[in-house]
Chain A
Amino acid sequence: MKNFPFFIFTSILVILQLSVLGAFFSPLRIPNIILAFVVCLAIRKGFENHLGWIILAGILFDIGTSRLLGSSALLFVLLAFGIDKLNAVSNIQSRRLLFYPSFALVIAISLFLFDWAGIGLWSVEKYFLSAKVVLAAPLRLNADFFWKTTFTVLGGYVAHYFLKKFQTNDSQKLFQQKAAG
């Protein structure tokens, strides 16, 4: 996969997350499309292949939040590693009809874990590192969280579609190069 288009894609997702989605969704229902993107990467290509992009997405996500730099990247890496291990057992990518519900389930669980672990990390930073971080709101499993999850899953499908396109284009180019050479 070529790096530049991928960088542009990641940057656009971050801009959408920080700047655009807030204008269309109520504050408690804003989907986490960066997380959906990370889950997508981990499922499609595994933890190792896109580690750099996962870290970059986390760092860029952090500039828009009040978190300490590196916090989201750390959580994304932990999640991606977990998904990679899960994928090794269940091979989500190769499932046909079951892929989309499995994918949705992985995103939903990841979102819950990300928000939940985020609050934990926030407390750790506040009390052990004496960081000037603000109080985090408690995680509530209500209608808002349900909609946030639903929108995140939909965002995940869109991200998955584009990643698939990227990969298909790359495979075609690779095939053409091999055929020519």
Chain B
Amino acid sequence: MTFLSRKNKKFLFVVILLIVVVFVSSRGADNPVKGVLLTIASPFLKTFRIFSGGVAGLFDFLGSIGNLKNENEKLTKENQKLLSENTRLKEIEKENEILREETKLAPKEKFDLEASFIIAQDPEGQGNRYLIDKGKNSGIGENMPVIVSSGILVGKVSEVFPNASRISLITDQNSVVNAEITDSGVKGIAKGTFGLGLMLDMISQADVINEGDKVITSGLGKEMPRGLLVGKIGQISQSPDRLFQQTTIISPVDFSDLRIVFVVKKW
């Protein structure tokens, strides 16, 4: 058997061909190809995703039946507490409107939102990258913020195709968002960590921060609207070089269970 047998020749040819494809793709040529393939695959991906989400939900439900009684009691107590709080909040709502005007926080109603289904998950994105079923044809562009129904920031659009887009969650290690702590006005940068973690970094040593404080987007750089909830301050620590403080951020969103998201097209 010689080195350049038919099989080896075939192998070398295919490898060289694929290297050329990768090289051409790096020059942006892969976007139209991926776009076409995603347009074809999108309806199937969506159907399977919705169905599997339902089945997975059913399994979760069956697994949680034992806990339902305890949870019911807990919820009844919580409901009573919430009723009293609701009365108090109505008063605060009026005050909130005035404050919004002053601090220029964007109310959710003013956003131009595009509701989208999660249709696929990047198998190599460690749960941080998803495909949604809306793209350029629906007015979606790169770097647009992505929120969930209650106005909580979950990520950004990272790649756009004609009928689909890729979103990167704020927990992605490449994600950087200008953030601010609501009560103190302390500014920092919310970064994704490896896995599904999130941290607030670059907080000056002089600033006072407390566990449980709410973190919102600061709107600096105009890349995001101001006032989207990122999460709550968790454990506070020092940066490795001890120049800044950093904290973990606890997001109220279960990132592994996203089904419908909203892309903020205008704010």
Contacts and interface: CB of A to CB of B under 8 A. Distances in A.
Question: Do A and B make up one complex?
Answer: yes
Interface of A: 11, 14-24, 26-28, 30, 32, 47-48, 51, 55, 59-71, 73-74, 77-78, 81, 84, 118, 125, 129-131, 134-138
B18 A73 contact: yes
Given A28-B127, A47-B11, A66-B166, A19 B22 contact: no
B119 A137 contact: no
Contact of A20 (B22, B38, B49): B49
> Which 10 residue pairs of A and B lie closest in terms of their CB atoms, listed nearest first?
A27-B127, A22-B121, A70-B21, A69-B30, A129-B26, A131-B26, A18-B120, A68-B25, A74-B18, A23-B52
B262 to A, nearest CB: 20
B122 A65 contact: yes
Contacts of A125: 22, 26
Contacts of A134: 129, 158, 168, 172-174
Contacts of A136: 124
A14 B119 CA distance: 13
B173 to A, nearest CB: 6
Given A20-B52, A24-B52, A48 B10 contact: yes
A156 to B, nearest CB: 15
B159 interface: yes
A154 B238 CA distance: 44
A129 B56 CA distance: 40
B120 A64 contact: yes
Nearest to A118: B124
Interface in B10-27: 10-11, 14-15, 18-19, 21-23, 25-26
A13 to B, nearest CB: 12
